[in-house]
C-alpha cells in the first residue's frame, strides 16, 4: 500500500507541472480549400469551439497535395484574411495564423527542389504528412532538402501511419534525424484506431512529442477532443516540453 501511495503522489506531482495548451498548430479551419471547414459558417463554429476549449492562438494548416488540393500561399492567405475579418466582427479573442500541411508527393518534392518558399509556422517549422499506407520513398531526400534550406521539418501525426504500427524503431530513426514529431490529441481518445492510440501513448511515454495538434476538420473532431482531454495520457502529454507553448 505504501508504495502505491508513493507512486500516486509522484504521478500527481508530475501532473501538477502540466501546462494547458493555448496554441494549436494543426487545423483545417479555413473554409472551402480542403477537406476541413466547408464554408465560413463551419469555420466560425470550429473556431468558437476551440476558443471555448481555451485556445488563444490557432494556426490553420490547409492540405497542399498535388492530386487533390493545389493550394498556394496566395489562396491560403486570402482565406485567412476573410476568416480574420469574420472573427473580428464577432469580437473574439483569438490570434489566427496560417501555414500548410504538405503531403509528401512529387508536387512537394518539386517545390523543394526549386527552393520555392514554404509556408511555415513559429520558428521556421514546416508541417508535412505522408501516405497512410506506404512508406514514402522520398522521405530522406525531403528531410535533407528541408533542413538544407533552413526549415525545421515537423512530421504530422506519426501515430497514424500504418507502416509505422509494427515498426516503432522507424519513428525513432526519424526522430533521431532531427525531425520534430506532432501527435494528434484525438489519437489519445482512440478516434482514429487502436494502433494509432497505442503509438501516440508510446510517443508520450518516450517523451518523443514536440507538438500536439487538434488536426480539427469538423465538429466531430471537437467532440473527440473533449473525450481526449479526459484521458490520463492527455494529462501526461501536457507535462512534456511541448513547443506549442512557445508559438
Ligand atoms: Fe491535418
Q: Cα(242) to centroid of ligand 1, in Å?
A: 18
Q: Cα(182) to centroid of ligand 1, in Å?
A: 11
CATH code (residue 205): 3.20.20.140
| Distance from C-alpha of 171 to C-alpha of 185, rounded to nearest angstrom | 18
Query: Cβ neighbours of residue 242 under 8 Å, at least 6 residues apart?
Result: 19, 21, 209, 210, 211, 212
| 9, part of any domain | no
| 217, part of any domain | yes
Which one, of 1, 83, 67, 82, lies nearest residue 34 by Cα? 67
Q: Read off the pLDDT band of 1 (50, 70, 90).
A: very low
pTM above 0.85, yes or no: yes
pLDDT at 3: 45
pLDDT at 158: 98
Residues 42-69: tens digit of each pLDDT: 999 999 999 999 999 999 999 999 999 9
| 7, part of any domain | no
Give the chain as a 3 state SS string.
CHHHHHHHHHHHHHHHCCCCCCEECCECCCCCCCCCCCCHHHHHHHHHHHHHCCCCEEEECCEEECCCECCCHHHHHHHHHHHHHHHHHHCCCCEEEECCEEECCHHHHHHHHCCCCCCCECCCEEEEECCCCCCCCCHHHHHHHHHHCCCEEEEECHHHCHHHCCCHHHHHHHHHCCCEEEEEHHHHHCCCCHHHHHHHHHHHHCCCCCEEECCECCHHHHHHHHHHHCCHHHHHHCCCCCHHHHC
User: Quick check: 49 and 223 in contact, CB under 8 A?
Assistant: no
Tell me which residue range forms the domain holding 215.
Answer: 20-246
Q: Read off the pLDDT band of 17 (50, 70, 90).
A: confident
| 227, part of any domain | yes
Q: Cα(69) to centroid of ligand 1, in Å?
A: 13
| Distance from C-alpha of 8 to C-alpha of 130, rounded to nearest angstrom | 39
Neighbours of ion ligand 1 (CB under 5 A): 101, 215
Q: Cα(3) to centroid of ligand 1, in Å?
A: 42
Q: Cα(113) to centroid of ligand 1, in Å?
A: 24
Higher pLDDT, 18 or 94: 94
Q: Cα(127) to centroid of ligand 1, in Å?
A: 9
pLDDT at 18: 83
Q: Cα(45) to centroid of ligand 1, in Å?
A: 18
pLDDT at 16: 57
Q: Cα(215) to centroid of ligand 1, in Å?
A: 5
Residues 198-228: tens digit of each pLDDT: 999 999 999 999 999 999 999 999 999 999 9
| 42, part of any domain | yes
| 31, part of any domain | yes
| 6, part of any domain | no
Domain count, the chain: 1
Q: Cα(31) to centroid of ligand 1, in Å?
A: 14
| 11, part of any domain | no
Residues 155-203: tens digit of each pLDDT: 999 999 999 999 999 999 999 999 999 999 999 999 999 999 999 999 9
Amino acid at each position: 500500500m505504501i508504495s502505491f501511495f508513493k507512486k500516486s503522489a509522484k504521478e500527481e506531482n508530475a501532473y501538477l507541472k502540466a501546462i494547458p495548451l493555448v496554441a494549436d498548430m494543426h487545423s483545417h479551419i479555413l473554409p472551402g480549400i480542403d477537406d476541413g471547414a466547408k464554408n465560413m459558417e463551419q469555420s466560425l463554429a470550429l473556431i468558437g469551439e476551440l476558443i471555448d476549449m481555451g485556445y488563444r492562438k490557432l494556426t490553420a494548416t490547409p492540405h497542399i497535395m498535388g492530386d487533390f488540393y493545389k493550394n498556394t500561399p496566395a489562396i491560403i492567405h486570402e482565406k485567412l484574411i476573410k476568416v480574420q475579418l469574420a472573427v473580428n466582427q464577432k469580437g473574439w479573442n483569438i490570434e489566427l495564423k496560417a501555414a500548410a500541411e504538405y503531403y509528401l508527393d512529387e508536387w512537394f518534392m518539386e517545390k523543394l527542389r526549386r527552393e520555392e518558399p514554404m509556408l511555415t509556422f513559429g520558428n521556421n517549422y514546416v508541417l508535412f504528412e505522408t501516405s497512410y499506407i506506404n512508406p514514402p520513398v522520398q522521405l530522406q531526400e525531403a528531410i535533407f532538402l528541408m533542413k538544407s534550406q533552413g526549415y525545421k521539418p515537423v512530421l504530422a501525426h506519426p501515430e497514424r501511419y500504418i507502416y509505422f504500427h509494427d515498426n516503432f524503431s522507424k519513428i525513432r530513426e526519424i526522430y533521431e534525424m532531427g525531425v520534430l514529431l506532432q501527435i494528434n490529441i484525438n489519437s489519445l481518445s482512440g478516434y482514429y484506431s487502436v494502433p494509432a492510440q497505442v503509438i501516440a501513448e508510446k510517443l508520450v511515454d518516450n517523451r518523443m512529442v514536440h507538438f500536439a495538434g487538434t488536426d480539427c476538420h469538423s465538429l466531430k473532431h471537437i467532440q473527440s477532443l473533449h473525450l481526449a482531454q479526459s484521458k490520463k495520457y492527455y494529462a501526461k502529454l501536457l507535462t512534456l516540453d511541448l513547443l506549442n507553448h512557445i508559438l
